[in-house]
Amino acid sequence: MAPVTQVSFILILILLSLPPVSPGTLKRRVLGKAAKLESQGNDCSQIWTDNPKSPSGVYVIRPEGTPDAFRAYCDMGEDGGWTVFQRRTGGNGKPLAFDRVWWEYDYGFGDVEGEHWLGLSKLYFLTHQPGTRAQLKLDLHNFENESRHALYDSFQISDKSSFYTLKLGRYSGNAGDSFGGENWRGAASQVGSAFSTLDRDHDSCNPCISGDIAFNECSQQKGGAGWWFSDCGVANLHGDWHPEGDHKIWSSDIHWGTWSPTESLKATEMKVKTVVIAATEA
């Protein structure tokens, strides 16, 4: 048999041995390569403004300046559309870990339909859209089925080069101003703090003292949480999640100290809404 014929024969045998590919499988493979998310609006606030009857759920958004569109959960209500960027619920007994390194907090992790952190890089663009002012709302829930909230009338984080520093306006609500260290003697405000993670320490400890323990990194001391730590501050919603019965005193890691200083919270949600800046603000 000629060499060319032998090669052709071998190729035929190889092709015959491969599993069949259905048209549906082939179509999915082609779509998987070509698929690109199509934006439904700049953010959840714009989607709600365009249609106040829009239901809560997952949408594709692309804030101005963002290189790519991405999925986010929109909490739609009478007060507008809120883009959720953090949610913790305990994951039905399998809580999502928040002890993560810098690039994970920068990019985001988890499932936007459940527990997740949307990502600092996305949050930066959400809070820097031209002609708008961002607001921050935190919904907090404890194991006694009580709920509180904190609202800040302006909210921004700086860019990556300055480590996503936290900027907040006036507080209102019934959970207390933990970010500002309200009525908490000796605690420094977390407003103006850069974001810290396990591998990127930007807090103000030099050192910090807790009881008879001295330490230099809040993230290490707080279970590997990524957060806007000062010295370390009163608020930390990214500590380890604990189930009921194992959520008090030393087993409490998810705190909004002005409401729940010694008991870990059951669920938290952080979200941002943008409002059009009036001519007098511009």
Mean pLDDT of 155-159: 98
Residue 253 pLDDT > 90, yes or no?
no
Mean pLDDT of 125-130: 98
Could you tell me how many residues make up the chain?
282
Where does 125-246 show beta strands of DSSP type E?
A: 132-141, 147-152, 155-157, 166-168, 171-173, 208-210, 213-215, 235-236
pLDDT tens profile 9-24: 544 444 455 444 444 4
What one-character-per-residue DSSP string does 210-222 give?
ETTEEES-HHHHT
What is the reported pLDDT for 282?
55
pLDDT tens profile 63-91: 999 999 999 999 999 999 999 999 999 98
Closest Cα to residue 134, out of 158, 109, 113? 158
**The CA-based dihedral angle spanning residues 161, 162, 166, 169, taken in that order and rounded to the nearest 10 degrees:** -100
pLDDT tens profile 177-200: 999 987 566 678 999 999 999 999
**Under 8 Å between Cβ of 187 and 181:** yes
What one-character-per-residue DSSP string does 32-72 give?
HHH--PPPS-SSHHHHHHH-TTPPSEEEEE--TT-SS-EEE
The whole-angstrom separation of Cα 164 and Cα 106 is 9
What stretches of 64-155 show up as alpha helix (H) in DSSP?
102-107, 120-126
Please state, rounded to an integer, the average pLDDT across all residues of the chain: 86
| Global confidence as pTM | 0.85
- 44-276 CATH: 3.90.215.10
How many CB atoms lie under 10 A from the CB of residue 96? 18
pLDDT tens profile 210-246: 777 888 898 988 889 999 999 888 999 999 998 887 7
The whole-angstrom separation of Cα 224 and Cα 99 is 4
What is the reported pLDDT for 93?
84
183 vs 172, residue with greater confidence = 172
